[in-house]
Structure 1
Amino acid sequence: MNECFADLHIHIGSAKSGKPVKITASKSLTLSSILKAASEEKGMDMIGIIDAHVPEVLEELEQWLQSGRGRELDGGGIKVHQTTLILGSELEVFDRNCSGPIHVLIYMPHYEAMVRFSKWIAQFMKNNTLSSQRVYVPGKVLQKKTKELGGLFIPAHIFTPFKSLYGRGVLRSLTEVFDPELIDAVELGLSADTEMASSIKELDPYPFLANSDAHSAGKIAREYQKFWLEEPAFDELVLALNNLKGRKILTTYGLNPLLGKYHQTVCEKCGAVIAGKSLQCSECGSHRVNKGVSERLRELADTENGVRGRPPYIHQVPLQFIPGIGPITLQKLKERFGTEMDILHRVSRSDLETAVSGKVAGMIADARSGKLPVSSGGGGIYGKVQKDRT
């Protein structure tokens, strides 16, 4: 068995032709640049590309397979460089049982399964050349098709205020839209952690995942998990999610929820933090209130039983968030020690001090154990690591 680092939610900004895939993602975020960054810069063993249903992306992947640049594994996934690519699709469900869009992640074991899924889903979409598009099909139908093709079905960033399972304040239960038996895991999103999500009893059966939702190369692996697998492959991922045959999630590494840009309730107009359940800003009088994840979870909480034996969730801060680590310093660290996973998990503090100041080395060490003090984010603005530690 081996430790495997995995970030299963990464967007493609542009196809090989230059046409947009995820409009809000960096244009430089191509299939090639993602695999290079994930393998050589980040040190990820497994990644999920969640725009693989796009026909032009599938065409590029087919070229990789034919040329030998990528190799499809018997257990599922495509091996490129040192990283296994899991083919995924992020879609927006809007069925008659709910009044708000819900993003979901769907992963397929093999290239041909994704081709079949892409052709099927195209009939329910207005534009299948773009990521995260709305699909006009009931959630349960989408689940059944996913399972028919051997795929995984995972609701995405389930607490964020926009386009998520619980975030908009409309749904009280996932059973209103989905078949609970056909959900393989849930993705927490950047503003919630295991402890927070464990306050909702209906989530007890599901593994919690933390992924980056990266829209640029630098954001890859800002959240991720460490699996215990025989090899990074789709079938092994399935076993780990079900905690079978010794495969499992060892540790989840995510941002402190305070760093998430939707953690607090804030006024959309002036940015003031709004306490309690008020629907009006006391600073400017606006009713444009963006309810934070922390407040929404307080509304949904129905159990106080705690985390209940889940894998550890480490509030780890990405290197790019740490004061004193700019692009030049980060490149220096990589040249000396290897990938970001090496720097964050394998290099000793004393060795780090040979490349950076003792203060910065100490902050990296504290980042590993979630000890860095942070200030809260909200209303679309990320929280920050505090420069002065007290």
Structure 2
Amino acid sequence: MTLTPYYVDLHIHIGRDWNGRPVKITGSPSLTLTNIFKEASRRKGLDMIGVIDAQSPAVQDELESLISAGEAAELDDGGVQFEDTVLILGSEIEVYDYSCQGPIHLLCYFPYLSDMRNFSEWLSKKMKNVSLSSQRFYGTARELQQYVKDHGGLFIPAHMFTPFKSLYGKGVKRTLKEVLDPEKIDAVELGLSADTKMADQIGELSSFTYLTNSDAHSLGKLAREYQLIELQERTFEELRLSLQGAKGRRVTTNFGMSPKMGKYHQTVCAHCLIPSEETDERCGSCGSTKIVKGVSERIQELKGATQERERPPYVYQVPLISLPGVGKRTYEKLLESFGSEMRVIHDVPENQLQNVVPDKVTQAILDLRLGSLNIDAGGGGRYGKVR
């Protein structure tokens, strides 16, 4: 049996459907299903993607049109192939049931288009507008889990540490068991403000595979976080095995932004963005009471007894175009010369890079590969930045 490493990003939004109507209201108008396929396959070099607004009927219609035209094809073991990329159909759902301290976002994936259409029909009885992204589900989190597991899906808590609309940010006081059945969780998504080392301080997460996904709201944000996964072939069922760590399939590397780059890494005043040590007092600088607790502080509140587990390496990265010296023109020159962002970041030899871009850009790319960039921390809704 031969396993192949694939680059995978499982959290990508739809900005507009093929009729021009909003799906993710805060998403870019250019973020359509067809454009995502083209960007992932032709420019980013992603082998597998998860679109998490596939419960929208218009998105399903666009996908069905691509399949009917022969531009895409459903795979026997789940997933849809378009050129060099396989799509996994997903949906991000907001739940705020009686068990939750606040709203949480949950990711639900299914193998086939027919499964997602059935899910949409079920959701339409428990949701005000199934066509829009991340809508409120009028039921319990465990009820949603049960449907997903009964219908052969995958269930993954999204960006689980962010201060708003996440499992540990607002959803629970201490343990995920307050809201979810841990036996019906297939993996957990770290989010942009946490990494493996931070999450491993929470003992109840020791059994779960960690995912690092982009949560992209524009085409350029695809693969700002992703993972390398070893599979025999790119299908839904192979993905399921990798999340279980079964039959040799596994996540081998997480590539993600340094937690310092995340919008909510440190506790800051939301008004003036000055770091704060307190979460329940006025800002010492401007007097505002709008203090946003950082992910790093929240994890310190939750940490407890842990179990040793060997984890894949977590490599700190940023999108290629975020590197100092890589503007739009240089970015396009790199893609024109070498084919895709994944190839530039991981594979192109140093001497070939030097033939195309200045030495300082070549060095920045080499630093990116090593995860050795210097980062200024973000917080309170503001991203960190590369120095």
Cα distance in 1 between the residues matched to 2:177 and 2:159: 17
Cα distance in 1 between the residues matched to 2:279 and 2:331: 42
Cα distance in 2 between the residues matched to 1:63 and 1:170: 41
Contact 2:191 2:213 in 1 (8 A): yes
> Could you tell me which residue of structure 1 aligns to residue 293 of structure 2?
291
Quote how far apart the aligned CAs of 1:322 are.
0.6
> Could you tell me which residue of structure 2 aligns to residue 311 of structure 1?
312
> Could you tell me which residue of structure 2 aligns to residue 358 of structure 1?
359
Quote how far apart the aligned CAs of 1:303 are.
3.2
> Could you tell me which residue of structure 2 aligns to residue 214 of structure 1?
216
3-state SS of paired residue (2:167): coil
Quote how far apart the aligned CAs of 1:305 are.
5.7
Moved more, 55-64 or 39-48: 55-64
Matches within 5 A, 1:101-116: 101-116=103-118
Structure 2 residue runs without a partner (length 5+): none
Moved more, 184-193 or 168-177: 168-177
Contact 1:11 1:213 in 2 (8 A): yes
Quote how far apart the aligned CAs of 1:169 are.
7.2
Cα distance in 2 between the residues matched to 1:14 and 1:93: 23
1:17-48, Cα deviation, whole Å (9 max, x unpaired) = 00000000001110111000000010000000
1:59-114, Cα deviation, whole Å (9 max, x unpaired) = 11111222211100011000011100000000001111113100000000111111
Contact 1:165 1:171 in 2 (8 A): no
> Could you tell me which residue of structure 1 aligns to residue 19 of structure 2?
17
Quote how far apart the aligned CAs of 1:321 are.
1.3
Contact 2:172 2:178 in 1 (8 A): no
Quote how far apart the aligned CAs of 1:270 are.
1.4
3-state SS of paired residue (1:226): strand
> Could you tell me which residue of structure 2 aligns to residue 341 of structure 1?
342
Select the residue among 255, 258, 269 that pairs with 1:256.
258
Whether 1:43 aligns to 2:45 is yes
Matches within 5 A, 1:1-390: 1-168=3-170, 170-277=172-279, 279-303=281-305, 308-386=309-387
Quote how far apart the aligned CAs of 1:3 are.
1.0
Quote how far apart the aligned CAs of 1:318 are.
1.7
3-state SS of paired residue (1:237): helix
Quote how far apart the aligned CAs of 1:277 are.
4.8
CA change 1:102–1:169 in 2 (3 A) is closer
Structure 1 residue runs without a partner (length 5+): none
Query: AA paired with 2:352?
Result: D
Contact 2:103 2:171 in 1 (8 A): no
Quote how far apart the aligned CAs of 1:141 are.
0.7
Cα distance in 2 between the residues matched to 1:142 and 1:347: 44
Cα distance in 2 between the residues matched to 1:277 and 1:72: 49
3-state SS of paired residue (1:166): helix
Q: How many residues align?
A: 385
Give the TM-score taking structure 1 as reference length. Answer: 0.97
1:270-305, Cα deviation, whole Å (9 max, x unpaired) = 111102555321101111101111111111111366
3-state SS of paired residue (1:168): helix
CA RMSD of aligned residues (A): 1.1
Give the TM-score taking structure 2 as reference length. Answer: 0.98
Contact 2:266 2:294 in 1 (8 A): yes
Cα distance in 2 between the residues matched to 1:168 and 1:274: 19
3-state SS of paired residue (2:61): helix
Cα distance in 2 between the residues matched to 1:113 and 1:18: 25
Cα distance in 1 between the residues matched to 2:307 and 2:58: 47
Contact 1:109 1:150 in 2 (8 A): yes
Identity over aligned pairs, percent: 54
Contact 1:39 1:82 in 2 (8 A): yes
1:333-388, Cα deviation, whole Å (9 max, x unpaired) = 011111000001111122111111111101111111110111000111110100xx
Quote how far apart the aligned CAs of 1:14 are.
0.2
